[in-house]
Amino acid sequence: MGIFIDQTGYLPASRKVATTTFPCNFQLIDSTTQHAVYDGVSTDSGMDESAGEQVYQLDFSKVNAPGRYYVLAGNGERSHTFVIGEHVYEQLQLDLMKCFYFQRCGCALTSEYAGEYTHAACHTEDAVFLEDYMNQTPDPPHFDMTGGWHDAGDFGRYISPAAVAVGHLLYAYELFPESFQASLHIPESGNLLPDILNECLYELKWMLKMQADNGGVYHKLTSFVHADFLMPEEDKLPFLIYPVSTMTTADFAASMALASRVYAPFDKAFSTQALEASRKAFAYMESHPYIGFHNPEGSNTGEYDDDCDIDERLWASAELLRTDTAHRDTYLKAFEKYSSMTHPEVSKTDFGWTDVSGMATLCLLTDPGNTCGATRKREYEQILFTEADRLIELQKKSGFELSMQPEDFVWGSNMVVCNRSMLLILASLCSEGDTASRYREAALNQLHYLLGRNALDISYVTGEGEHAFKNPHNRPTACDEIDLPMPGWVSGGPFKTPCDPAAIAAVPAGTAPMKCYVDDVGSYSTNEITIYWNSPAVFMTAFFNRTI
């Protein structure tokens, strides 16, 4: 039993639907006056395969008046309280963005900017190459690799996830700059840069340190094994520079070209530096065939391996084609080459670290100069609309109006939810009239799921809603002796085959995929946090805050 609803709320002009597991008459109650403002009857949505339940929809879209409300069913069941309002997602977006500040490495987080979530400077020692560490080389060369964001619930820093997260954030700013006017209250606030660009710059400057003299980019910077659960400044394990891979080199080239374009109006020197770094990485990428990466025996930090780098090369060539117009012919030739290659992992519609080819699509279809040419643009538009229409068809079959099938509930399923919202948003931006509105509503449905309209009645964003998750798999929040985590973290979410001890103990075998989740700090397979799960959520909320 339950009434599942977006616990943050709804925009006034949007569809407003809750889901239940029982048929009912219902009322929408104004929580201030306790008066009913709408009466309705549920409609049967059939069996939701992902939830494993018969579900019903409660539609109260006719109510547009701003206020705080809850849904009351005829049997006495009631929903969480939520808001209808034009600015309903603004604080959510700010919280999602502020979490990147909380991931900063190499500096102290002081109470002036972090509130109660403070810690001393961490990981300030120089790093050494993995090979020297493993060979116990006497007096090996040391390198300043400080800065950047901790990637997830551990303290590692990884180039491909960093590039993707920065890519999401920079595109959010480039496309929806009006949604980034508010201060994040970070140390750089008040300078000439919007705070989202201030925060990304903290990561980008670390990324520049990860480029070798020959243009290649080191795969990651981590200790040999994960640290125990402790505060960041207590971790004294040596940090190691892992070898170059072509995957990370191409991701770096793409994100630096994008950064060069976005920062050009604000910081010419950094824009030039980023473009030069991108060119060097591209040259290395073009002169080297696939170079993969795997952890050496005994090392257990994030591997982020990928047996295909075509998608990364495609994104890099697309970004440089758009940004570095002085060398257009070089990049166009590379773009055409990689665009013509096929591989199961090159969908041209995904925005995650394993398949970044959707970032190339985003780059091309939002390019006002149409640098790729009309023929390629039509091809990529058709790919985009075909996938967007498939996602809408999935929503029609889902009682939660979610673009997910049972098999889509993989590790980090909420990333899939958010990335598919990004694709639907892009389809809306590339459309007009009713078609654009249809894609926009479908994208918003993905956000409703994230914020509580799901089979577990949980908001997968800390601090958002009356029943938000509270126990992320994240070392600082587990060890800071503060009851609640900082608001704004996106949980990884349900995983159809949970594989950590906490989730295995809590989730019975045969549980429906949408319910394979536990709010437990020990559940790294369902409840970890990462920068690249927050970044698409920032993109998503920035779009809806912009289109009020």
Active-site positions? 154, 473, 519, 528
182 closest CA partner among 534, 490, 546: 546
Burial of 536 (0-12, 13-18, 19+ CB in 10 A): buried
- What Rg, from alpha-carbon coordinates, does the chain have? 23
Burial of 528 (0-12, 13-18, 19+ CB in 10 A): buried
Torsion angle, alpha carbons of 354, 355, 358, 364, to 10: 100
- Neighbour order of strands in the sheet with 9-10: 9-10, 82-84, 67-73, 25-30, 36-41
Residue 327 near residue 260 (C-beta atoms within 8 A): no
Which residues have CB under 8 Å from 367's CB, separation 6+? 322
Strands 220-222 and 240-241: antiparallel
Which residues have CB under 8 Å from 319's CB, separation 6+? 253, 254, 255, 257, 258, 261, 278, 360, 363
b/e for 362-400, b at 16 or more Cβ within 10 A? bbbbeeeeebbeeebbeebbebbbebbeebbebbebbbb
Strand partners, 443: none
45 closest CA partner among 30, 56, 34, 31: 56
Q: Which long-range contacts (CB under 8 A, 24 or more apart) does 176-184 make?
A: 176/542, 176/543, 176/545, 176/546, 178/546, 179/93, 179/541, 179/542, 179/543, 179/545, 179/546, 180/542, 182/90, 182/94, 184/94, 184/97, 184/98, 184/101
For the chain, count helices (H), then strands (E). Answer: 16, 13
Alpha-carbon span 548 to 86, nearest angstrom: 6
Q: Rounded to whole angstroms, what are the CA distances from 12 to 47, 63, 292, 327, 450? A: 29, 8, 49, 47, 19
Cα end-to-end distance, the chain, whole Å: 33
Kind plus residue range of the DSSP H or E element containing 230: none
Which phi and psi angles does 525 have, rounded to 5°? -90, -10
Alpha-carbon span 90 to 388, nearest angstrom: 26
Residue that is written with structure tokens 């606030």 in the block: 189
Residue that is written with structure tokens 């929809």 in the block: 57
Alpha-carbon span 55 to 37, nearest angstrom: 24
Q: At residue 331, what is the residue type? A: Y
Alpha-carbon span 405 to 392, nearest angstrom: 12
